[in-house]
A and B are shown apart, each in its own frame.
Chain A
Amino acid sequence: MLVEIRGVIKHYRRGGETIEVLHGIDLDIPRGDFVALMGPSGSGKTTLLNLIGGLDTPTAGSIVVDGRRIDRLSSGELARWRAAHVGFVFQFYNLLPVLSAQKNVELPLLLTSLSARERRRHAMIALTLVGLADRARHKPRELSGGQEQRVAIARAIVSDPTLLVCDEPTGDLDRATAAEILTLLQVLNREHGKTIVMVTHDPKAAEYAQRRLHLDKGTLAEAPEIHVG
């Protein structure tokens, strides 16, 4: 099992009020799985994704990823753990606008001991994998939305993480481009063994996953089969 979540509770304080977003979540994600997390807005999907990716820590409960309890790590330890084990893909790509595609992809590698040449080589491999080797020198504003998201995916996989967490990766793309991105994620899952956890509103996007989970009001359930017209 790659991810083991037990009794996870997450509170937020807003104003003077405490809001419980997740109510005792239990979840197992096997290695090599592709999970779609669905649910209405405010159901806690992104909160759960952030906890799995080590961007936030739970109020209670345990999260074990690849045999390591990440809920007990300090901020610095979590940063190092994320750099080594997790790749992130966001709805709005979040590329650095002044850096070229290649330099954006190289970002996580700056934290390694790789030489500049090695970093460049790894970045080019990742860009080739997402089909953008010929756009390496382009700045984000010179790329289409789909291309930007491919660069973001290249950045997510460049350090060869075990786990990819994707938050609405197709939320800002048209249908055809979204299909390309989802196919790419499928390839990374099937051919490169990446475990993927993806938050999406879109039932069509969820179809690309092996497993769909439904989160509603902070409680998790296996989603019923969805038939998309």
Chain B
Amino acid sequence: MKYLPLVSAGLFRRKTRTILTLASVVIAFLLFGLLQAVGTAFESGADSADARRLVTTARYSIIEPLPIAYARRIEQVPGVVAVAYADWFGAKYQNESNAFAVFAVDPARYLAMYPEFTVTAAHRDAFIAARTGALAGRRLVERYGWRIGQKLPISSEIHPQMDGSMAWEFDLVGIIDAEDPAIRGNTDVVLINVKYFDEARRFGKGRTGWYIERVADRAQARTVAADIDRLFANSPDETKTQPEKEFALGFAKQIGDIGALVTRILVAVFFTILILTGNTMGQSLRERIPELAILKTVGFSDGKVTALVLAEAVVLLLLGGALGMAVATGIMPFVNGSMGGRFPPLFVDAETWLRAAAIVLALALAVGIPPALRARRLRIVDALAGHR
């Protein structure tokens, strides 16, 4: 600690230059925090995937429905302990921009399949009991100011009712939520009762969009998936079954490979920071050769001078990194608020902080070691002679 003023003195010898470099590090880590949050949000479906869950869709297209009758047959496959299914409603609420997911589900099967969702017992029972009942994600409820017991007028872009009307109405009977912020993004959904939906729709009766299966042993997941697909091979409705994580990643990649895009942007950002900070450190060292020689003259060992120069790089990047990450974490509630819940909730998780710490350390070493070694090799008489 007693050397800290010396480190700070070296660092802030040229205040403007150091502050500008620091600002660029802050912005780089702010960008890192934000982009990682976006990447996490896109991958949250995959991250929250359960290794014991499989997803079955039609073999050739995810939008082709499968018979609801498959449920009983899938349940008979050895290793399968539970089956749920869901269908895409294609919802539109009030206007085009208010689009959110509405799934027609068997309430008991579906809620049992996702224990990570929190629903009160009263809301669960009400949803199972009410044919026109609906559960809505807490963020949707807050965004639109819905209240339990109210009617939800939701239009479908796919499914007309028997009378040809695309306008549907459900009773909001409960709220679906999740404690883990990574999973909360998956609750931006309205669940409706498939019994009512299937009876009331004009087309596609007796069919559903996809199945979700829970297997007894995660090690057997792929074997069970193959068994399910074999069961329906050569039928009019062949299936494709895969682990939930693969399904979620594949689904996210339909939008674009966000992870790869984020990585490429961040590599460019940190490479720029490496050059910028390295230049600052190198310039700072060249200007301070006589001062470093004086430190050695009064008795600072080569090791101490090396450590002092390295510490400057560590302090600069640690300060910038911590500030950038703190700002990124601090502005998330405002970013989420400004998006009005139309995007999965963004947050900076502990893993992102750990990655930031690792990047700080790697950058500090890459930037600090060359000048530190130069300082170590500095011969006092040569350095002082150069200053005469």
Does B302 make an interface contact (CB < 8 A)? yes
Are A91 and B388 in contact (CB-based, < 8 A)? yes
Residues on A with C-beta less than 8 A from B6 are: 99, 107, 110
CB distance from B257 to the nearest CB of A (A): 48
Residues on B with C-beta less than 8 A from A111 are: 298-300, 304
Interface bits B276-293 vs A (CB < 8 Å: 1, else 0): 000000000000001101
Contact with B9, one of A46, A76, A90, A99 (Cβ below 8 angstroms) = A99
Residues on A with C-beta less than 8 A from B297 are: 55, 82, 88, 94
Residues on B with C-beta less than 8 A from A155 are: 298
- Give A94 to B288 CA distance when docked, in angstroms: 10
Does B131 make an interface contact (CB < 8 A)? no
Residues on B with C-beta less than 8 A from A90 are: 384
Does B12 make an interface contact (CB < 8 A)? yes
- Give A108 to B301 CA distance when docked, in angstroms: 12
Q: Which residue of B lies closest to A87 (CB)?
A: B298
Are B12 and A98 in contact (CB-based, < 8 A)? yes
CB distance from A106 to the nearest CB of B (A): 9
- Give A75 to B299 CA distance when docked, in angstroms: 10
Interface residues of A in 50-85 (CB under 8 A from B): 50, 55-56, 75-76, 79-80, 82-84
- Give A90 to B297 CA distance when docked, in angstroms: 11
Q: Which residue of A lies closest to B302 (CB)?
A: A75
Are B299 and A92 in contact (CB-based, < 8 A)? no
Interface bits A89-117 vs B (CB < 8 Å: 1, else 0): 01110101111000100011011000010
Q: Which residue of B lies closest to A93 (CB)?
A: B294
- Give A84 to B301 CA distance when docked, in angstroms: 13
Are A96 and B294 in contact (CB-based, < 8 A)? yes
Interface size on B, residues (CB 8 A): 28
Does B138 make an interface contact (CB < 8 A)? no
Are A79 and B296 in contact (CB-based, < 8 A)? yes
Interface size on A, residues (CB 8 A): 27
Residues on B with C-beta less than 8 A from A110 are: 2-3, 6
Residues on A with C-beta less than 8 A from B362 are: none
- Give A4 to B387 CA distance when docked, in angstroms: 29
Residues on B with C-beta less than 8 A from A80 are: 299, 301
Are A83 and B298 in contact (CB-based, < 8 A)? yes
Does B13 make an interface contact (CB < 8 A)? yes
Contact with A56, one of B3, B5, B291, B381 (Cβ below 8 angstroms) = B381
Q: Which residue of B lies closest to A156 (CB)?
A: B298
Are B299 and A82 in contact (CB-based, < 8 A)? yes
Q: Which residue of B lies closest to A116 (CB)?
A: B2
Q: Which residue of B lies closest to A168 (CB)?
A: B388
Are B384 and A107 in contact (CB-based, < 8 A)? no
CB distance from A13 to the nearest CB of B (A): 12
What 8 pairs across the A-B complex have the smallest Cβ distances?
A83-B299, A98-B9, A108-B298, A79-B301, A94-B294, A55-B380, A82-B299, A56-B381
A sample of 29 inter-chain contacts (CB < 8 A) reads A46-B385, A55-B380, A75-B301, A75-B302, A76-B301, A76-B302, A79-B301, A79-B302, A80-B299, A88-B298, A94-B290, A94-B294, A94-B297, A94-B384, A96-B291, A97-B291, A98-B9, A98-B12, A99-B6, A103-B5, A103-B9, A107-B294, A107-B295, A107-B298, A110-B3, A110-B6, A111-B298, A111-B304, A155-B298
A55-B381, A108-B298 given; 11 more Cβ-contact pairs under 8 Å: A50-B380, A55-B384, A79-B301, A79-B302, A82-B298, A96-B294, A98-B13, A107-B294, A108-B299, A111-B298, A111-B300
